[in-house]
Amino acid sequence: MANNSFWEGKRVLVTGGTGTFGRAFVRKILETGVERVIVFSRDEFKQYQMRQDFTDPRVHFFIGDIRDLPRLERAFNGVDIVVHAAALKQVPAIEYNPIEAVKTNVNGTQNVIDAALNQNVERVMVISSDKAVQPINLYGATKLCAERLAVASNAYRGATGKTRVSVMRYGNVLGSRGSIVELIENQKDSGEIPLTDERMTRFWIHIEDVIGRVLKAIELMEGGETFVPNMKSSSVTSMISLLAPNCKMKVIGMRPGEKLHETLITEYEISRTKDLGDIFVILPEFQPWKSDFPFAKYPDLSPDVVYASNSPFCLVESAQDVEVLIKPKQ
C-alpha cells in the first residue's frame, strides 16, 4: 500500500513506461495524489495503444530513447522521481546483438543517472533482475553493470545535490509478456509443453506485488541500497503440471545463457542484508556519501540463508503451495 502523503504532488517519470511493468506502475501510482506521471519510451505505437487505456489528464507521454542524454535531460526537467525500467531483455536476441544491449542497458542507464544528477531529480529507482546475480549471459552482465553504476552514482551528487539512486532486483513476473505462464497457455492445446531441464527452478512474483515493493522501496530509499522482495520459488515442472495437467513435458535441453537455478542475494551480500519482512535491503559495500543508514535498526538476514530458487528458504514444492504462489491476484 502506497503512502499517499509521500506521493502527494509528486511528478513521476517511468522509462520503458509502455511495458508490462510500466503500465502496471502507472495504473497503481494514479491511485495516489501524484501531480503528473510521464511515460517515457521510444515506441510511438505502444504509446498510442496505452493512451486508449489511460485517459487520466495527469498522464503524459514522451517519445525518446534512453541512449539520448539530451532528450532525457529535457524529459527529466521538473521531475521528482524516476523509475528506470527501460531495457533490452530477450536473452537470445542480446547474445546475437551484444553491443545493442550494452548501448541500452549499460550506457542508457548511465544516461538516466547523468540526466537525473544534472536535473537534480530527487530519487531514481533502477529496476534490475535476478539475472544480474552471478551472470552467465550478456543480459545478466549488463544488468549487473547497471546495478553497480546506480549504487556508485550516489558518490557523485556533491554537497548541494539531492539525487538518490537505488536498485530494485526481483525474479520472474507471473503473467508478463513472454512469461512461462503465457508460454504454457499458448501451447497447452498442442498437448506438449517444451521444458529445457526437469531440475530447473525459478522465483515467481505477481506484477501487483512487484509494484507494491517498488513503491515501498522508493519511499524508504536513502541511496545506494539494493532492494529485493521476499519471494518464493518453485520447480518449472510443478508450474507446468498445475497449469497444463493433461500435457506431456518434452525436455529440449538447456538454452545458451540459461541457468538451472536463480539467485537473488549472493553469499557475499548476505552479511550486509537487512530483513524488513516483505522486502530485503542490501546495504552498499562502500558509502562515502553517508555516514549511517536508517536500516541499521532492522534485523540482519541470517548468515545461514541461501537465497536461491532451489533453496529450502524459498522453494515451495507441494501442489497446494505452488497453486497459492501462482494464483492470479484478485
What is the reported pLDDT for 261? 94
126 close to 146: Cβ distance less than 8 angstroms: yes
The number of beta carbons lying within 10 Å of the beta carbon of residue 173 is: 21
185 close to 177: Cβ distance less than 8 angstroms: no
Predicted TM-score of the model (pTM): 0.93
Q: What would the pLDDT profile of 238-261 be if each residue is shown by its tens digit?
A: 988 888 888 899 899 988 888 999
Inform me whether the pLDDT recorded for 152 exceeds 80. yes
- Looking at the annotation, which residues are catalytic? 131
What is the reported pLDDT for 291? 61
Q: How far is CA 233 from CA 135, 209, 312, 318, in A?
A: 19, 14, 9, 12
Quickly tell me which residue has 550478456 as its cell: 138
Pairing of strands 273-275, 164-168: unpaired
The pLDDT of 211-232, averaged and rounded, is 95
* pLDDT band of 77, cuts 50, 70, 90: very high
Domains of the chain: 7-171+204-230+262-304 (3.40.50.720)
* pLDDT band of 18, cuts 50, 70, 90: very high
DSSP-derived letter for residue 255 is P
Q: What would the pLDDT profile of 256-292 be if each residue is shown by its tens digit?
A: 888 999 999 999 999 999 999 999 999 998 877 666 6
What is the reported pLDDT for 161? 79
The pLDDT of 40-50, averaged and rounded, is 97
